[in-house]
Structure 1
Amino acid sequence: MIAKSFYHSVLVILLSFASLNTIAQSVEQRKTDSVFQLVKVQFNAKNADQLYELTGSRLKQDLIIETFRNICNNQLFTLGEIKESSLISFENNKVATYKLTFSTGQILQLLMSLDRNDKLEVFLFQPYKKAEGVKKSLALTSNPLKTIEDKQIDSVARTYIQKANTVGLSIGILKDNKISYYEYGETDRGNGKLPTGSTLFEIGSITKTFTATLLALYINEGKVKLSDPIVKYLPDSVAANPALHGITLEDLSNHTSGLPSLPPDFFAHVTDTLNPYKNYTKRLLYAYLKTCTLNSKPGEKYAYSNMAVGLLGDILERISGKPFEQMVMDNITQPLQMTSTVQHITPLLKPRFVSVYNDGGKPTEAWDFSALAPCGSLKSTVNNLLVYAKANMIKSNTRLSKAFELTHQVTFDKDVKIGLAWHIIKVDGVEYYFHNGGTYGSSSFLAFNPEKNIAIVILSNCGEGVDLVGVGILKRLQ
């Protein structure tokens, strides 16, 4: 099977914004589906050379045609024809996963994505990941099941927490100025302790909205402009790369910079496979940027990038002279009294921090960050994130409120609608400001609509995503 050669390409979806079922059938998905149909035709014809013609330059660099032919003829084509296929997911408006059933009876899944020329950039066959089993008994809950809303939320939450791989789930809802909490499962498998509104979880890419808020604060104070080219704030040796000259600060925040999600050599520097961001330093980031090329012209195409937001945070650090966590504390968490939103877990906070589990239900590690901290390093609680969501919804004359308002202004609206970090999604016709997050061992969801006075926060200590839980609850609330 094609595997190690494409390890780094497949894992670019780490920590990424996951496109929801509510944003179905984007232009990119239709393009990917069209290429997939061509892949099926050439695969079933056992035509390795024609399959190779569908691949892009980056994949061709990884795999010369002779090796590709050998893999196809000796490993893939022996599976027989593709008899049945179905789309499992389309992550990050980029990476499609298809379930394939072959004439030999074997079932695999195929990960595919396209480059800027609509050629295959990721083409990876994997063992098919079957849906997890279910728990033998009902998971613990604090849900009193007294009201219709209680029961509706339970019906959605149970579809998630009763899976065998999931462990704990913390849900916070703000509706019409009333806050409700619903806790499920355990903070550590087998400990019998429900999470609470004060339990700490990794929040992954929701961190990006904090980075965008810092950017907005500095814009409103005249320290930077959205239209500023990033080379204005980079070391001369990095700014000398002409590929970077068209990228603005706005492009970094709304994922239109043309930079990849992660540098191609990212995983070559990983020393702990369970904690991949830990040792990716600014030195490595700048070394890559000195010679990098872009996947698309800045400002023209949405392509989710952890590296871009990490770089944005680094630029803000250079401007302020403070580390990312200090900027967040000084400008956001202290003014809002969000004392449990941090990058680093202190000994005082550690007892409230959950154990984390991968999407297969196995124990894993919480992530640590270096250069790319602004893209996904924060930990928080449902309590704190509801405060954050409410502050985003209420307009006032404070510097922070004005910054939030700026982050909500639409900066890009082609296939994906986005402000500064905040994605704008529709659930049954109602628009929400939204972001989710995911690490190996945690999943998160935050959405709010100021006009309807609704906000929802969902945190899980499992890598199994919670988007469907969030969307399902929103449908019942609105």
Structure 2
Amino acid sequence: MRAFNIKFLLAIFLLLAITSATMAQSIQQQKTDSVFKQVKKQFNAQQADSLYALTGADLKKALIIEAFRNIANNQLFPLGAIKQSTLISFENNKIATYKLVFSTGTVLQLLMSLDDEDKLQVFLFKPYKEPVGSKPALVATTNPLKTVSDKKVDSVARIYIQKANTVGLSIGVFKDGKITTYNYGETALGNGKLPTANTIFEIGSITKTFTSTILAYYVNEGKVKLNDPITKYLPDSVAKNPELKDITLQTLSNHTSGLPSLPDNISGPATDSLNPYKYYTQKQLYAYLKTCHLKTKPGEVYSYSNMAVGLLGNILAHISGKPYEQLVAEIITGPLAMSNTVQHLTPLLAQRFAPVYNDEGKPTPAWNFDVLAPCGALRSTVNNLLVYAKANMTKNDTKLSKAFELTHKVTFSKDIKIGLGWHISTIDNVDYIFHNGGTYGSSSFLAFNTEKNIAIVILSNCGESTDKVGVGILTKLQ
């Protein structure tokens, strides 16, 4: 059998497409299966142009036909014909995953989703991974299983925590004025210690909502404007790149800047592959920006970008003359008494930090950040993030409350609704203000709806996504 390293060949990631699940065989699934049959037919006939004709406008923007032909003819078609295909999952009534067995013996999985025109929007080949097994015994929990809500939470959380690769899970629910927390598993593999609502986890990209809150705070203070061009705040040697002139602070925050997810000079011999942001500096970021080319025109296309929010946070730090972590403390965590939400752990806080594990359940380093810290560097607890969620839901006359309110206002609504940092996602016809997060060794989920008076926080010290847990619990409790 030939070994292939096929990774992210054809992809547009829908990182935050949270929608309600319907029946087991939904109309959307039927449509996706129908398109998959066409994909299989054209793939086996080795018709690259016919395959390309099945793709939608977004995918065509990301990959011109010449590049598609090259990938298909040189990397995909040599795999041989698709001999066996099995639908593994259909997540969020949107993304189908198929197991493919090729005539060469290679086994891959294909992720597919359709746009509103029933054309391919996600078309991604990845190495096949066997489904994760289960733990042999029920994992310990603090859930008393006394109320109907307790049992609903447990029915969803069990599916996640009983997987062989997961370790610890901490859940916070705010509903109808009452806070309830639930903890499952262990803080570290084999130590037998349950997490608590004060166990500290990496929160990954939920950090971006803190960065956007600082932006909104400064807008309300008159220090910046959302439509300020970023070139106003960059060194002349960087600002002279004409590609940057139409990028604004708002487009950095709502992922419509046209910048890619990560700069192409983030990897290299000095990079730690398990801690990818650790050694990436402002000097390197500016070097990239001096010559970069945008993927799309700013303000027109949503494309999730870690680099954009990292740059935004650094601009805000430059304006204030203070480090990013200090801004977070002075504007958000200090006023809200969120003393467990930090970028750098003190020796005392480090004692409550949960070691992290990758999506295979193996130990992996916690992430460290330099210049891109504003996109994902914070650590926090369920209790602190419940305070944060409640503060976002409560309107008052404070400067921070008004900043939160500004971040919730929709700034972009083509294909996806987003405010400043926060996404607006619909679950069973209810709109939630939402963000998730993930590092190699953690997963997080935070969502709230003020009218329903509900918020949920989920933190895990495993790279296995908690999105299904969050959506599942909200679906049962709302």
1:444-478 CA-to-partner distances (Å, cap 9, x unmatched) read 00011111211110000001111111111112221
Aligned in 2, Cα 1:301/1:173: closer, same or farther, shift over 3 Å?
Answer: same
1:217 — aligned with what?
217
1:181 — aligned with what?
181
CA distance in 2, matches of 1:30, 1:369: 43
CA distance in 1, matches of 2:375, 2:113: 22
1:365 — aligned with what?
365
CA distance in 2, matches of 1:346, 1:30: 52
1:214 Cα deviation from its structure 2 partner: 0.2
1:67 Cα deviation from its structure 2 partner: 8.7
Q: Percent identity, please.
A: 64
1:76 — aligned with what?
79
1:446 — aligned with what?
446
CA distance in 1, matches of 2:251, 2:316: 14
CA distance in 2, matches of 1:192, 1:40: 48
SS of the residue aligned with 2:273?
A: coil
1:342 — aligned with what?
342
SS of the residue aligned with 1:22?
A: coil
1:19 Cα deviation from its structure 2 partner: 2.4
Among 5, 16, 19, the alignment partner of 2:17 is: 19
1:131 — aligned with what?
131
Query: In 1, are the aligned partners of 2:262 and 2:306 still within 8 Å (CA)?
Result: yes
1:194-250 CA-to-partner distances (Å, cap 9, x unmatched) read 000110000000000000000000000000000111111111111111111111111
1:135 Cα deviation from its structure 2 partner: 0.5
Aligned in 2, Cα 1:43/1:463: closer, same or farther, shift over 3 Å?
Answer: same
Query: In 1, are the aligned partners of 2:79 and 2:103 still within 8 Å (CA)?
Result: no
2:282 — aligned with what?
282
2:25 — aligned with what?
none
Aligned in 2, Cα 1:315/1:62: closer, same or farther, shift over 3 Å?
Answer: farther
Aligned in 2, Cα 1:188/1:296: closer, same or farther, shift over 3 Å?
Answer: same
1:23 Cα deviation from its structure 2 partner: 8.9
CA distance in 2, matches of 1:49, 1:11: 17
Matches within 5 A, 1:245-394: 245-268=245-268, 271-394=271-394
CA distance in 2, matches of 1:404, 1:144: 34
CA distance in 2, matches of 1:146, 1:311: 47
Query: In 2, are the aligned partners of 1:12 and 1:262 still within 8 Å (CA)?
Result: no
Query: In 2, are the aligned partners of 1:89 and 1:98 still within 8 Å (CA)?
Result: no
Aligned in 2, Cα 1:419/1:125: closer, same or farther, shift over 3 Å?
Answer: closer
Query: In 2, are the aligned partners of 1:259 and 1:294 still within 8 Å (CA)?
Result: yes
Query: In 2, are the aligned partners of 1:140 and 1:185 still within 8 Å (CA)?
Result: yes
Question: Over the residues paired in the alignment, what is the CA RMSD in angstroms?
Answer: 3.4
Aligned in 2, Cα 1:468/1:5: closer, same or farther, shift over 3 Å?
Answer: closer
Query: In 1, are the aligned partners of 2:48 and 2:68 still within 8 Å (CA)?
Result: no
Aligned in 2, Cα 1:41/1:283: closer, same or farther, shift over 3 Å?
Answer: farther
1:128-186 CA-to-partner distances (Å, cap 9, x unmatched) read 11221111000010011111111111111101101111110000111122111100000
Query: In 1, are the aligned partners of 2:257 and 2:299 still within 8 Å (CA)?
Result: yes
2:43 — aligned with what?
43
1:295-338 CA-to-partner distances (Å, cap 9, x unmatched) read 11111111111111011011101101111111001111111000
CA distance in 1, matches of 2:110, 2:270: 25
SS of the residue aligned with 1:431?
A: strand
SS of the residue aligned with 1:268?
A: coil
1:156 — aligned with what?
156
TM-score using structure 2 length? 0.87
Code of the aligned partner of 2:291: T
Pick which of 34-43 and 347-356 moved more. Answer: 34-43
Aligned in 2, Cα 1:2/1:35: closer, same or farther, shift over 3 Å?
Answer: farther
Pick which of 49-58 and 383-392 moved more. Answer: 49-58
Aligned in 2, Cα 1:385/1:58: closer, same or farther, shift over 3 Å?
Answer: closer
Query: In 2, are the aligned partners of 1:425 and 1:433 still within 8 Å (CA)?
Result: yes
Q: Runs of 5+ in structure 2 lacking a partner? A: 23-28
Query: In 2, are the aligned partners of 1:56 and 1:121 still within 8 Å (CA)?
Result: no
Pick which of 187-196 and 286-295 moved more. Answer: 286-295
1:474 — aligned with what?
474
1:40 Cα deviation from its structure 2 partner: 3.2
Query: In 2, are the aligned partners of 1:59 and 1:120 still within 8 Å (CA)?
Result: no
CA distance in 2, matches of 1:369, 1:62: 37
SS of the residue aligned with 2:363?
A: coil
Code of the aligned partner of 1:19: A
SS of the residue aligned with 1:397?
A: coil
CA distance in 1, matches of 2:96, 2:267: 21
1:36 Cα deviation from its structure 2 partner: 6.5
Aligned in 2, Cα 1:409/1:364: closer, same or farther, shift over 3 Å?
Answer: same
Asked if 1:244 is matched to 2:244, the reply is: yes
CA distance in 2, matches of 1:172, 1:132: 26
